[in-house]
Amino acid sequence: MPDKLRDQDATELWGNFLDGLGADSFTAFDRLYAAFLPMVIRYCRFRLRDAHLAEDIANAAFVRLLENRPVLKSSFIGLLLRTARNLCASETSRKPLGRPMPAEPASPSEAEPGHELERQDAHAALADCLDRLPEPDRTLVVLHHGEGLTYREISDVLGQRVALSTFTRRLKRIKDQLLRCLREKSIF
């Protein structure tokens, strides 16, 4: 299982990578790659709606960091996801988005098929409600609730400084929109 790194530790590892020479610096990069690749793939998958392309773009984000070795202005997670966001934007400007992602597979422990159908319906309804949100709002929800990023990390990813109260109000407004949409679909 890959390391679970906090952003502060990741930022320090990136600094070690930039400062280091030889095998130790690449060990730092390998730790960063192992710890954050799954998160970047999920983020790209959300943006692109194509699982295979998301993996390619996520890897390309790490390659871009490896080639350019940018100095951090804020946090490593912010730099990494900003890089991935820019690569995703470049990709989507070249061609139309792929078809929507299929529902996540059911866990084998679910015994009753009725529960599985309800779960799939709820998942599809949530995906549809998220699709109705403007892209910046979807990104905020996915980064905060899906990836568990803090407001500071999200502001680093988005490249903008926003007050905590602004994030809180914006998330409340988005949650209210999602709940209304889900109620319309008789999910809640």
Reported confidence tier of residue 65, pLDDT bands at 50, 70, 90: very high
Which strand (E) or helix (H) includes residue 57? helix 51-68
In a domain, 76, yes or no: yes
Q: Where does a domain end: 36, 64, 94? A: 94
pTM greater than 0.85 (yes/no) = no
Which strand (E) or helix (H) includes residue 152? helix 151-158
Q: Are residues 23 and 60 in the same domain?
A: yes
In a domain, 1, yes or no: no
Question: For residue range 80-135, what is the model confidence (pLDDT) as tens digits?
Answer: 999 999 999 888 776 544 444 444 444 444 445 667 777 777 878 888 888 888 88
Query: DSSP string of 93-147?
Result: HHS---PPPPPPPPPTT---HHHHHHHHHHHHHHHHHHHHS-HHHHHHHIIIIIS
Question: For residue range 134-156, what is the model confidence (pLDDT) as tens digits?
Answer: 888 888 888 888 888 888 788 87
Q: Are residues 83 and 136 in the same domain?
A: no
Q: Are residues 80 and 155 in the same domain?
A: no
- Structurally, how many domains does the chain consist of? 2
Q: Are residues 118 and 89 in the same domain?
A: no
In a domain, 105, yes or no: no
CA–CA separation, 65 and 125 (whole Å): 37
Task: Provide the residue range defining the domain that includes 44.
Answer: 7-94
In a domain, 69, yes or no: yes
